């Protein structure tokens, strides 16, 4: 099959209430947005035809993001500014595409290629923040993190998944953390799980606002952005 | 006192991390209406979870028309699941609307969809969570006016004390008139009770507080509702009816959900009403006359709404879509227009004949053949004649043959047990029929796929409903239901046939609430106080809790469900009429006993149900039916 098809890479932010969508809900939502956008999306053949689209790794429920991605296969080229504009106009306000570019059809899938993420966690605590941060330091220094999720015990290797953890600022009742995590073919770390473990240890109740600030591919220590010019067939179009 | 109209979302958000499926509560869907400026506000509530209620077509229509009115805002609310409801009580957070997150109690009108008999405890839960008194006569002057409507209003008495007013029938015009009446009354500074009694002047509206219950020799033990002297209320309230569907938009304003909801697709109402006359079916009696939407309107509205919403499926919904006079042509033109877009067309249930299968096949061209559902309802021709299910075994076998020939392997058959006049022979005929279908499949399906042939048999328990020819019947006692279920199960040997049952205990409570009078409110309230909510959820329904509640108010569930009513008695629901004449129902009841069938008036001549004369309407067909 000769190929006029194009793989459109889209970066978008996810804000506010839409942080509470689960991954399946997000997928359903974005596919409906794409249909509304009237872009010439490609549909797979076969028994149960579906849109050719792939996403970056699931965002934990309750988390906002400045940099999520999806790759959408189009049947033919569309001018990038037009593609961006029609996506923006078909999305609910809290899912906001802000950059698009064409990558090669054969690029590896986003979910496995994106191996680093930077997170910002705003914590407000009912108890002492200092106590919580001390507990967090102990929890983060351990080689593994064990907790229960949906009634099942889980253990995450922190030495594999947690690249760095830093307190950016702190006051009596609030603190802001920055974490960098690694992901790959191993169980990933949710920042919420880390802070929740510290809250348990400090015996305090916390309320978190978590944000994924960036995602990138790590090429032997050098970061590579999903919209890096070296991956694109033409310069990306950003912003509106 | 009316709470302040301000967003409480921040307080709610603090709880969302602690509950399952938080996306139920976030709003901001594509198409949701945001109007925080209008000072007259209506909140429509489906008293179940978001994913059950979100796709309700009736509420979508009302949401649309109310938001089109100048100076009126309409918002939605659903019942929080038990985890969030308990947290909200703990934190002192009241029930909120979805869009503005204002307290529901701050609205001018609160409208409930009365979807089925088991929804009562959820309505009480919602009112309590909102901080609104459960009974109309205990509400404060500036509390919202609490109204109800929907399919299950033709015995409103068990919930009558809850509602200030109940709309019978079609809502698209009446809801606006009701809202205006409340708004004008508020503006004029009328006392609450005058605003409420004034709602009776809107055609189709029943105001329970204007009626008292009289028990005498001419009634059942639950009495009849008679107008309170001086209330100016009519002896009988007749339902509201829309003369033609074509005059209304084919698709109301669409709110596209994020989370997976029960009907997660674009729905277009292609017709309203059904005249097939199945004698157990309440909707078939109460939604008459039959009104079809013209084909052209359906097709163009579907294409436009698919583009606007991004859905990848459109469902042509109604009580009997394959009866639409242009069904085949409509499906063909939709399929042609949607080719290559990955969009599918579906119809909710299949007519039990080969035409029904043809239509199902047209829906799934190239797609998966997941399973096909038919509802013979009874195992023998004799009993099918009693219930006026006008299909023969030949129809069923013809439909099954066509389905197997068209690539289907799995079939689902719906039956009921406990139908009037049912014998063991009728019960045993159910597995026999299923076996014949499986046998036919094994004959017709090519050898390698033969083992895939299967039939699942789903057996409900007959519940006698008001305003049907079987409204005088009692329900089969629980012990006898279980005996017959056992009989059926033991007779079913073939491993390709799977049998599933409805819970007979939930069906009994459903029967009690279908048949009881205003005293039934005490039962619903006691059940809710005893912890019952989400009774329609199998895992939440607790028969022991209902039993205890019944005992505490001196009601015997077995007796109320199974005692027949005398045909000469006035019934607890005679004052709320869908237009059907009681004489017709009586004639149908007698014909049922004789096994005499009655035809469909959209295909033959008038059968005398009385709806057209009583409500001054007529069947409105888009063409000739086949």
pLDDT digits (tens, 9 = 90+) for B36-58: 999 999 999 999 999 999 999 99
In a domain, B204, yes or no: yes
Angle at A44 between CA A38 and CA A46, to 5 degrees: 135
**Domain residue limits at B384:** 245-519+555-615
Q: Do B88 and B68 lie in a common domain?
A: yes
Q: Taking the model in full, what pTM does it have?
A: 0.94
Q: Do B234 and B249 lie in a common domain?
A: no
Q: Quick one: which of B413, B319, B395, B320 has its CA closest to B354?
A: B395
Return the residue of B nearest to A92 by Cα: B30
Q: Do B216 and B325 lie in a common domain?
A: no
Q: Which two tokens stand for residue B287?
A: 């939604």
- B307 to chain A, closest Cα gap in Å: 5
In a domain, B261, yes or no: yes
Residues 89-128, chain A, touching B (beta carbon < 8 A): 90, 92-94
Residue whose entry in the numeric block shows the structure tokens 């219930």 = B387
CATH number where A93 lies: 3.30.70.580
Q: How many Cβ atoms from other residues are within 10 Å of residue B32's Cβ?
A: 19
Instruction: Say yes or no: A16 contacts chain B, CB-CB below 8 A.
Output: yes
Q: Do B602 and B454 lie in a common domain?
A: yes
The Cα–Cα gap between B226 and B235 comes to: 6
Q: Do B266 and B148 lie in a common domain?
A: no
Confidence at residue B231, expressed as pLDDT on a 0 to 100 scale: 86
Last residue of a domain, one of B176, B211, B238: B238
Which DSSP symbol is given to A232? B
Q: How many Cβ atoms from other residues are within 10 Å of residue B594's Cβ?
A: 9
Instruction: Say yes or no: A27 contacts chain B, CB-CB below 8 A.
Output: no
Report how many domains make up chain A: 2
Cβ atoms of A134 and A120 within 8 Å: the answer is no
Question: φ and ψ at B523, to 5 degrees?
Answer: -65, -45
Instruction: Say yes or no: B22 contacts chain A, CB-CB below 8 A.
Output: yes
In a domain, B540, yes or no: no
Q: Do A34 and A77 lie in a common domain?
A: yes
* CA atoms within a 13 Å half-sphere pointing along the CA-CB vector of B229: 0
Q: Which two tokens stand for residue B137?
A: 């006569």
Residue whose entry in the numeric block shows the structure tokens 């496995």 = A112
- C-alpha distances (whole Å) from B228 to each of B207, B208, B467 are 11, 10, 24
Q: What is the dihedral of CA B431, B435, B441, B444, to 10 degrees?
A: -140
Q: Do B463 and B331 lie in a common domain?
A: yes
Last residue of a domain, one of B204, B221, B238: B238
Residue A156: pLDDT over 80: yes
Cβ atoms of B98 and B79 within 8 Å: the answer is no
Q: Can you say how many angstroms the Cα of residue B439 is from the centroid of all Cα atoms in its chain? A: 35
In a domain, B416, yes or no: yes
Q: Do B318 and B277 lie in a common domain?
A: yes
- B69 to chain A, closest Cα gap in Å: 25
In a domain, A201, yes or no: yes
Question: φ and ψ at B570, to 5 degrees?
Answer: -75, 140
Q: What is the DSSP string of B11-53?
A: HHHHHHTTSS-GGGG----BT-----S-SEEEEEEESS-HHHH
- C-alpha distances (whole Å) from A216 to each of A64, A113, A114, A181, A210 are 17, 8, 5, 11, 18
**Domain residue limits at A88:** 6-113+223-238
The Cα–Cα gap between B249 and B235 comes to: 34
Q: Do A122 and A189 lie in a common domain?
A: yes
Q: Coil, helix or strand for A65?
A: strand
Residue whose entry in the numeric block shows the structure tokens 């204002």 = B102
CB contact under 8 A, B28 and A18: yes
Q: Do A161 and A176 lie in a common domain?
A: yes
Of B26, B256, B368, the CB nearest to A32: B256
In chain B, % helix, strand, coil (3-state, to 5) comes to: 40, 15, 45
In a domain, B538, yes or no: no
Q: Do A76 and A146 lie in a common domain?
A: no
In a domain, B611, yes or no: yes
Instruction: Say yes or no: B479 contacts chain A, CB-CB below 8 A.
Output: no
Question: φ and ψ at B497, to 5 degrees?
Answer: -110, 125
Kindly give the parts of chain B with pLDDT less than 70: 364-369
Cβ–Cβ pairs < 8 A, chains A and B: 76
Cβ atoms of B225 and B213 within 8 Å: the answer is yes
The Cα–Cα gap between B503 and B52 comes to: 20
SS (H, E, C) B360-371: HHHHCCCCCCCC
Of B9, B258, B309, the CB nearest to A36: B309
Of B17, B28, B260, the CB nearest to A17: B28
Instruction: Say yes or no: B313 contacts chain A, CB-CB below 8 A.
Output: no
Residues in a beta bridge with B146 = B110
Return the residue of A nearest to B308 by Cα: A36
Q: Do A68 and A143 lie in a common domain?
A: no
Angle at B457 between CA B451 and CA B460, to 5 degrees: 170
| Runs of H (alpha helix) within A53-103 | 80-90
Q: Do A129 and A62 lie in a common domain?
A: no
Confidence at residue B364, expressed as pLDDT on a 0 to 100 scale: 65
Q: Do B227 and B260 lie in a common domain?
A: no
Confidence at residue B109, expressed as pLDDT on a 0 to 100 scale: 98
Contacts of B310 in chain A (CB under 8 A): 31-36, 90
Q: Do A49 and A131 lie in a common domain?
A: no
Instruction: Say yes or no: A49 contacts chain B, CB-CB below 8 A.
Output: yes
Report how many domains make up chain B: 2
Q: Do B324 and B364 lie in a common domain?
A: yes
Q: Do A18 and A68 lie in a common domain?
A: yes
Q: Coil, helix or strand for B322?
A: helix
Q: Do A100 and A174 lie in a common domain?
A: no
In a domain, A1, yes or no: no
The confidence band for A2, taking pLDDT boundaries of 50, 70 and 90, is low
In a domain, A160, yes or no: yes
CATH number where B570 lies: 3.80.30.20
CATH number where A125 lies: 3.30.70.3190
pLDDT in tens, A66-90: 999 999 999 999 999 999 999 999 9
Q: Do A148 and A169 lie in a common domain?
A: yes
H or E element that contains A101: strand A95-103
CB contact under 8 A, B310 and A93: no
Q: Do A80 and A127 lie in a common domain?
A: no
Last residue of a domain, one of B238, B256, B290: B238
CATH number where B101 lies: 3.40.50.280
Q: Do B396 and B328 lie in a common domain?
A: yes
Q: What is the DSSP string of B159-222?
A: GTTT-SEEE-B--TTHHHHHHHHHHHHHHTT--HHHHHHHGGGSTTEE-GGGEEEE--TTB-TT
Q: Do B166 and B217 lie in a common domain?
A: yes
Contacts of A32 in chain B (CB under 8 A): 30, 256, 309-312
In a domain, B620, yes or no: no
Q: Do A129 and A206 lie in a common domain?
A: yes
Q: Do B253 and B227 lie in a common domain?
A: no
Contacts of B16 in chain A (CB under 8 A): 20, 62
Cβ atoms of B319 and B354 within 8 Å: the answer is no
In a domain, B146, yes or no: yes
ipTM for the whole complex: 0.87
């Amino acid at each position: 099959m000769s190929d006029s098809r194009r793989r459109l890479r889209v970066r978008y932010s996810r804000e506010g209430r839409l942080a509470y969508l689960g991954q399946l809900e997000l997928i359903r939502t974005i596919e409906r947005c794409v249909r509304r956008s009237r872009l010439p999306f490609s549909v797979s053949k076969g028994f149960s035809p579906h849109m050719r689209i792939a996403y970056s790794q699931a965002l934990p429920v309750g988390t906002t993001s400045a940099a999520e991605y999806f790759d959408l296969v189009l049947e033919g080229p569309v001018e990038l500014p037009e593609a961006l504009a029609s996506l923006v106009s078909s999305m609910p306000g809290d899912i906001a595409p802000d950059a698009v570019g064409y990558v090669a059809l054969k690029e590896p899938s986003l979910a496995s290629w994106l191996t680093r993420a930077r997170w910002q966690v705003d914590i407000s605590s009912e108890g002492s923040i200092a106590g919580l941060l001390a507990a967090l330091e102990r929890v983060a220094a351990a080689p593994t993190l064990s907790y229960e999720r949906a009634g099942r015990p889980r253990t995450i290797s922190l030495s594999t998944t947690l690249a760095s953890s830093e307190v950016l600022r702190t006051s009596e009742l609030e603190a802001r953390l920055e974490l960098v995590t690694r992901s790959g073919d191993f169980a990933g770390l949710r920042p919420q799980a880390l802070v929740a473990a510290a809250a348990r240890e400090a015996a305090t109740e916390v309320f978190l606002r978590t944000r994924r600030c960036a995602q990138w591919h790590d090429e032997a220590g050098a970061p590579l952005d999903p919209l890096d010019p070296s991956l694109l067939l033409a310069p990306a179009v950003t912003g509106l | 006192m009316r709470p302040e109209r301000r967003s409480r979302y921040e307080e709610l958000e603090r709880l969302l991390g602690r509950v399952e499926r938080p996306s139920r509560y976030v709003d901001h869907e594509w198409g949701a209406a945001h109007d925080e400026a209008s000072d007259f506000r209506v909140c429509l509530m489906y008293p179940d979870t978001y994913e059950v209620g979100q796709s309700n077509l009736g509420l979508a229509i009302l949401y649309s028309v109310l938001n089109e009115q100048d100076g009126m805002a309409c918002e939605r609310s659903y019942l929080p699941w038990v985890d969030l409801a308990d947290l909200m009580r703990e934190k002192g957070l009241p029930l909120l609307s979805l869009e503005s997150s204002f307290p529901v109690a701050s609205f001018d009108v609160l409208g409930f969809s009365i979807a089925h008999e088991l929804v009562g405890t959820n309505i009480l839960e919602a009112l309590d969570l909102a901080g609104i008194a459960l009974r109309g006569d205990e509400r404060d002057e500036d509390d919202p006016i609490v109204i109800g409507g929907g399919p299950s209003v033709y015995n409103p008495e068990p919930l009558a004390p809850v509602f200030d007013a109940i709309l019978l029938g079609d809502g698209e015009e009446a809801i606006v008139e009701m809202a205006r009446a409340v708004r004008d009354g508020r503006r004029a500074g009328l006392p609450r009770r005058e605003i409420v009694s004034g709602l009776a002047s809107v055609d189709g509206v029943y105001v329970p507080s204007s009626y008292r219950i009289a028990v005498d020799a001419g009634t059942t033990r639950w009495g009849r509702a008679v107008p309170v002297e001086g209330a100016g209320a009519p002896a009988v309230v007749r339902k509201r009816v829309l003369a033609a569907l074509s005059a209304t938009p084919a698709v109301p304003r669409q709110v596209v959900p994020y989370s997976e909801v029960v009907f997660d697709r674009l729905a277009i109402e292609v017709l309203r009403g059904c005249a097939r006359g199945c004698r157990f079916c309440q909707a078939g009696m109460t939604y008459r006359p039959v009104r079809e939407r013209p084909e052209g309107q359906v097709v163009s509205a579907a294409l436009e709404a698919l583009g606007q919403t991004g859905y990848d499926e459109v469902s042509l919904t109604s009580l009997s879509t394959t009866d639409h006079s242009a069904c085949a042509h409509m499906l063909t033109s939709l399929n042609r227009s949607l080719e290559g877009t990955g969009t599918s067309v579906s119809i909710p249930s299949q007519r039990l004949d080969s035409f029904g299968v043809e239509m199902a096949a047209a829906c799934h061209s190239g797609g998966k053949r997941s399973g096909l559902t038919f509802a013979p309802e009874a195992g023998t021709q004799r009993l099918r004649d009693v219930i006026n299910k006008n299909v023969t075994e030949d129809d069923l076998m013809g439909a099954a043959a066509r389905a197997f020939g068209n690539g289907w392997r799995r079939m689902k058959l719906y039956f009921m047990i406990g139908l009037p006049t049912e014998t063991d022979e009728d019960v045993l005929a159910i597995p026999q029929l299923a076996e014949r279908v499986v046998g036919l499949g094994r004959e017709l399906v090519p050898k390698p796929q033969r083992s895939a042939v299967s039939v699942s048999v789903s057996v409900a328990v007959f519940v006698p409903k008001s305003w049907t020819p079987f409204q005088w019947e009692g329900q089969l006692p629980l012990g006898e239901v279980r005996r017959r279920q056992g009989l059926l199960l033991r007779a079913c040997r073939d491993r390709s046939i799977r049998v599933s049952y409805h819970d007979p205990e939930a069906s009994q409570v459903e029967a009690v609430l279908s048949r009881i009078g205003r005293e039934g409110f005490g039962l619903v309230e006691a059940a809710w106080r005893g912890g019952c909510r989400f009774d329609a959820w199998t895992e939440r329904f607790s028969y022991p809790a209902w039993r205890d509640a019944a005992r505490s108010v001196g009601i015997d569930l077995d007796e109320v469900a199974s005692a027949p009513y005398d045909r000469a008695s006035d019934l607890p629901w005679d004052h709320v009429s869908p237009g059907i004449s009681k004489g017709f129902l009586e004639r149908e009841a007698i014909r049922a006993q004789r096994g005499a069938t009655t035809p469909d008036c959209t295909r033959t001549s008038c059968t005398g149900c009385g709806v057209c004369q009583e409500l001054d309407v007529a069947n409105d067909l888009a063409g000739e039916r086949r």
